[in-house]
C-alpha cells in the first residue's frame, strides 16, 4: 500500500477490527473517513461469484464515466485479469486476507494512468465475510482524468497481506497462499505476450 487513501483506509479498518478477523459492516462510520469517501467503495460477494458494488465513491464513478452501483466489480476486467482478481479475492473472503493491486487504465487516444486498488474484508451477516471495503486511487493524476472515461483496465501486480499471522491451514494450502502472495505480474508492452505470462502465473483456486 503506497497511496495515502489506501493507508488511511487500512488503518481505520484495522482499528475497527481490533484484533478480530474483520470488522462488521455496521461499524463503518462514513463521517470518520469523510475525506476518503470519494475514492472508496463497498462491494457484496454473491453466490454466483460476482462482487456487486453496493456503494462507489463519486471520484471512482467520475473516472470510469458511469455509475458503478449495482454493477459487478469483476466486470471491469477482461479474460485472464478477471480470473486473477477473482482468485485474489478468495483468500480475502475465506480467510480475511487484505489484498492490494496496481492496474493501468486506458482512455481515448491511448491515454493511460496507473491506479492502486485495495480490498478489505467485512462481516455483514452472522460471522461470515460477505462484503468488501475498498479504495481505488490514481497514482498519478493527469489533467484529463475524470473528464475522459476510462475504457479498459489491465493488471500490473497483485499482493496479499495478512494483518495477523496467516491462518492455520494445511501445509499444502498454506504454501499455495504464500505463493499467491508473492506473485507479481510483469508489465510488458505487447498485450498478447502479457496475457500469456498471466495465464502461466494464474493464481491458484482455493
What separation in angstroms does the CA of 103 have from each of 21, 136, 187? 27, 10, 10
pLDDT digits (tens, 9 = 90+) for 86-110: 999 999 999 999 999 999 999 998 8
Which tens digits make up the pLDDT trace of 168-192? 444 344 445 445 444 434 333 333 3
Contact assessment for residue 144 and residue 65, using Cβ atoms and an 8 Å cutoff: no
Nearest Cα to Cα of residue 99 among 182, 160, 187:
160
Contact yes or no for 78/151 (Cβ under 8 A): no
Superfamily of domain 4-200: PAS domain (3.30.450.20)
Q: Report the C-alpha gap between 84 and 94 in whole angstroms.
A: 16
Contact 139, 2 (CB under 8 A): yes
In tens digits, the chain (206 residues) has pLDDT values of 899 999 999 999 999 999 899 999 999 999 999 999 999 999 999 888 899 999 999 999 999 999 999 999 999 999 889 999 999 999 999 999 999 999 999 999 889 999 999 999 999 877 889 999 999 999 999 999 999 999 999 999 999 988 886 564 443 444 454 454 444 343 333 333 333 333 333 333 32
Amino acid at each position: 500500500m503506497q497511496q495515502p487513501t489506501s493507508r488511511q483506509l487500512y488503518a481505520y479498518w484495522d482499528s475497527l477490527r481490533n484484533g478480530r478477523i474483520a470488522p462488521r459492516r455496521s461499524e463503518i462510520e462514513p463521517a470518520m473517513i469523510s475525506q476518503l469517501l470519494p475514492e472508496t467503495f463497498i462491494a457484496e460477494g454473491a453466490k454466483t461469484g460476482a462482487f456487486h458494488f453496493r456503494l462507489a465513491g463519486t471520484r471512482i464513478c467520475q473516472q470510469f464515466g458511469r455509475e458503478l452501483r449495482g454493477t459487478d466489480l469483476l466486470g471491469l476486467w477482461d479474460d485472464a485479469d478477471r480470473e486473477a482478481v477473482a482468485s485474489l479475492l478468495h483468500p480475502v473472503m475465506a480467510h480475511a486476507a487484505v489484498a492490494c493491486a496496481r492496474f493501468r487504465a486506458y482512455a481515448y487516444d491511448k491515454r493511460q494512468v496507473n491506479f492502486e486498488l485495495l480490498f478489505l474484508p467485512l462481516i455483514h451477516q452472522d460471522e461470515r465475510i460477505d462484503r468488501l471495503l475498498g479504495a481505488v486511487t490514481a497514482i498519478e493524476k493527469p489533467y484529463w482524468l475524470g473528464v475522459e472515461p476510462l475504457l479498459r483496465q489491465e493488471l500490473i501486480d497483485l499482493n496479499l497481506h495478512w494483518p495477523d499471522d496467516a491462518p492455520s491451514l494445511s501445509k499444502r494450502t498454506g504454501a499455495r497462499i504464500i505463493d499467491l502472495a508473492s506473485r507479481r505480474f510483469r508489465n510488458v508492452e505487447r498485450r498478447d505476450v502479457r496475457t500469456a505470462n498471466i495465464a502461466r502465473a494464474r493464481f491458484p483456486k482455493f
